[in-house]
Structure 1
Amino acid sequence: MSREEVYDIVQETIMDVIPDVEKEDIAIEKQLKDIGANSIDRMEIVTMSMRELNVKIPLMSFAGVNNIEGLVNVLHENVNN
């Protein structure tokens, strides 16, 4: 699966969790909190994205993630393993 496909899934998940957000507002360099995600939303986005991609990743793997790009990178690395 390509990095772009993972990014698309993350965008769809974000829109499911935060219905007021439009796809064009989900720039890869933004932080989830910048688009209105609270800590519970962020956890839900991570777990739903993993479920959608059918991967299990220790949550500590996301500890250093600062933006959507970091989230996509961690997911992409694990999808292709």
Structure 2
Amino acid sequence: MRKEEVFELVKGCICEVLPELNDHQFQYDDRLVDLGADSVDRAEIVMKTMEALSLNIPRVELSGVKNIGELADALYAKL
């Protein structure tokens, strides 16, 4: 799987949790909190994405990511 595919998967999970963002033009530097995701939404997005990638990593390892591009990069690095 390519890094771009992981980013697309993250975007899909964001839209599942926050359907009002279906028409949003996602950028790598978009921050989930700026998109309206609260802490529960953010945890659900990360969980759904990890499940889709069959990853089981401690979420604390992802605590330093600042935006969805960094989230995709961090998840891609664990594949």
TM-score w.r.t. length of structure 1: 0.91
Q: Distance in 2 between matches of 1:76 and 1:24?
A: 23
Structure number with the bigger relative contact order (C-alpha 8 A, sep ≥ 6) is 2
Superposition deviation, residue 23 in structure 1 = 4.9
- Taking the TM superposition and a 5 Å limit, the aligned residue runs for 1:38-77 are 38-77=38-77
CA contact (8 A) 1:11 1:23 kept: no
1:13-70 C-alpha deviation (Å, 9 max, x unpaired): 0000001002543211110011111100000000000000111111111111111011
What is the total number of aligned residue pairs between the two structures?
79
Larger proportion of helix: 1
1:2-81 alignment runs, 5 A limit: 2-79=2-79
66-75 vs 19-28, greater mean Cα deviation? 19-28
Q: TM-score, normalised by structure 2?
A: 0.93
